[in-house]
Chain A
Amino acid sequence: MLKLPIYLDYSATTPVDPGVAQAMIPWLTERFGNPASRSHAFGWEADAAVEKARENVAALVGADPREIIWTSGATESDNLAIKGAAHFYKEKGRHVVTLKTEHKAVLDTVRELEREGFEATYLGVRENGLIDLDAFRAALRPDTSVVSVMLVNNEIGVIQPIEDIGAICREKGIIFHVDAAQATGKVEIDLAKLPVDLMSFSAHKTYGPKGIGALYVRRKPRVRLEAQMHGGGHERGLRSGTLPTHQIVGMGEAFRLARENMAAELPRIHALHDRLLAGLSSIEATYMNGDLTPGRHVPHNLNVSFAYVEGESLMMSIRDVAVSSGSACTSASLEPSYVLRALGRDDELAHSSIRFSLGRFTTAEEIDYAVDIIRRGVGKLRDLSPLWEMAQAGIDLSTVQWAAH
């Protein structure tokens, strides 16, 4: 039986896996000790649970547990990594390089560094959403100290070639940070091999609880950071604050499940993605945003522009299907998605975009239902659309003089 509404917004957040929720509960009630309490069993067992979770997080990404620092989420990890490294290495240089398509947690952190007097380059991407390595190399300067590029893009699902980017950074002695919030459980990550210095993780995008994340800090060669949160010296002084045992246990269990399920989950999601893609492609005048080549794109994401239909009104007509849109109307800013604009998509197609994101609990029936309701919604809104009417009459919309407002 199909249960409504249908959730196709897994890139926004995921439900906590029932097994994860079960694992967390005892650490809220009877096993409530402070992991920093060294003098009694309450503290010891909490500490053991925290360390077990650290091993599980490290194991998913091929890291040493000692390289994992707990934070409140990927936003904090991005802040600690980028500001922490930029501050620590400021004698080396005060120039930071990132991409225009990064998450706001990275972009706004780099903006803050600019306010502090650092310089920044926000590199554009190619039409398929991927970095241009030649342009990247050209953007690096002798005083570039930190580079930050995400692994999987949250809006369009493209996978950036972090191995190649990291190799260039190594060659030039630049600290390389990767936001992997959208990547865990979706792509293979092996930090034992990847030339990455810092990597941000989030639990709630991978079936763990909100409010917990981690930062990978490489030990060999050692990467140094200036702490952003001061206090009791937790997490080797890099991030003070009492550790939330239950959250950490939840993230550990979520990452353990991700490692266990990935091999079976990926082909299943791939099949669902292809089903969705086939269904939506059969609707006239739809455009897929971002590179869809396997290996450059996670199947969990499909970002589609339905030309001549505005994204928010489409979401209204498919209210039983939870998705998100790059339309300006979904934000207060009146600006359409900056990610789609960076791909060179014109504003109209950015306003017309819908992001579908699939996950562990998505079914084929849900995909079929979604395709059907979207087909009807697009049809209804195109009947109402003056742009569709003009396009049908053979008018090239780019030649029309619009009364801009």
Chain B
Amino acid sequence: MGYSNKVLDHYENPRNAGSFAQDEEGVATGMVGAPACGDVMKLQIKVGKDGVIEDARFKTYGCGSAIASSSLVTEWVKGKTLDEALTIKNAQIAEELALPPVKIHCSVLAEDAIRAAVDDYRKKHGEAK
């Protein structure tokens, strides 16, 4: 299977890999996927007092395209408000990484991870959806 250079780059040099402490101020976590399906993504965002995502971390169990999709998303959400982050769509991720059709589900999962992390933040901070 051929990989695009961008997938290879994110795979070789993952951006923002790692974890924040769960109880850290402003941190929210989204975990999506299932081991039985072959991919699990954990996306964490750290939201500042101004409601802007200051930083992000990811950990992913999955193929190279899943790792690249989540790595890319950590870069994209930084500096965005929660609402802006929610506008990131799987098609943009797939296009940026030149994912082949069989790997589109990786970009869908990355979009789901953003939504799950934002939901978690809002739940913790009592914000209505």
A residues contacting B by CB (< 8 A) are: 308-310, 312-313, 316-317, 327-330, 332, 334, 336, 346-348, 351, 383-389, 397, 402-405
Q: Give the nearest-CB partner of B65 in chain A.
A: A329
Q: Which residues of B contact A405 (CB under 8 A)?
A: 32-34, 37, 105, 108-109, 112
Structural contact, B67 and A404, CB atoms closer than 8 A: no
Contacts A387-B35, A405-B109; A312 near B67 (Cβ below 8 A): no
Q: Which residues of A contact B102 (CB under 8 A)?
A: 332, 334
For the complex, give the distance between the alpha carbons of A328 and B40 in Å.
Answer: 14
Interface size class of B (residues with CB under 8 A): 20 to 34
By secondary structure, the A interface counts as helix
Interface string of B100-122 (1 = CB under 8 A from A): 00100100110010001000000
Interface string of B59-70 (1 = CB under 8 A from A): 111111011000
CB of A337, distance to nearest CB on chain B (Å): 11
Structural contact, B38 and A327, CB atoms closer than 8 A: yes
Structural contact, B60 and A389, CB atoms closer than 8 A: no
Q: Which residues of A contact B33 (CB under 8 A)?
A: 402-403, 405
Q: Which residues of A contact B112 (CB under 8 A)?
A: 403, 405
Q: Which of B31, B37, B67 contacts A313 (CB 8 A)?
A: B67
Residue from the set A336, A346, A402 with the largest chain B CB neighbour count within 10 Å:
A402
Contacts A316-B3, A403-B116; A384 near B34 (Cβ below 8 A): no
Near A by CB (< 8 A), chain B positions 58-84 give 59-64, 66-67
Structural contact, A351 and B35, CB atoms closer than 8 A: yes
Q: Which of B1, B3, B31, B37 contacts A386 (CB 8 A)?
A: B31
Q: Which residues of A contact B109 (CB under 8 A)?
A: 405
Structural contact, B61 and A402, CB atoms closer than 8 A: no
B52 at the interface (CB under 8 A from A): no
B54 at the interface (CB under 8 A from A): no
CB of B112, distance to nearest CB on chain A (Å): 7
B14 at the interface (CB under 8 A from A): yes
Q: Which residues of A contact B116 (CB under 8 A)?
A: 403
Q: Which residues of B contact A332 (CB under 8 A)?
A: 102
Structural contact, A329 and B38, CB atoms closer than 8 A: yes
For the complex, give the distance between the alpha carbons of A65 and B14 in Å.
Answer: 59
Q: Which 8 A-B pairs have the closest CB atoms?
A: A402-B34, A347-B36, A348-B35, A386-B42, A329-B63, A386-B59, A312-B63, A351-B38
For the complex, give the distance between the alpha carbons of A279 and B36 in Å.
Answer: 27
B92 at the interface (CB under 8 A from A): no
Structural contact, A348 and B36, CB atoms closer than 8 A: yes
B39 at the interface (CB under 8 A from A): yes
Q: Which residues of B contact A404 (CB under 8 A)?
A: 34, 36-37
Q: Which residues of A contact B61 (CB under 8 A)?
A: 308-310, 384-388
Contacts A313-B11, A313-B67, A316-B3; A402 near B62 (Cβ below 8 A): no
CB of B109, distance to nearest CB on chain A (Å): 7
Structural contact, B63 and A310, CB atoms closer than 8 A: yes
B98 at the interface (CB under 8 A from A): no
Q: Which residues of B contact A389 (CB under 8 A)?
A: 19, 42, 59
CB of A348, distance to nearest CB on chain B (Å): 4
Structural contact, B64 and A316, CB atoms closer than 8 A: yes
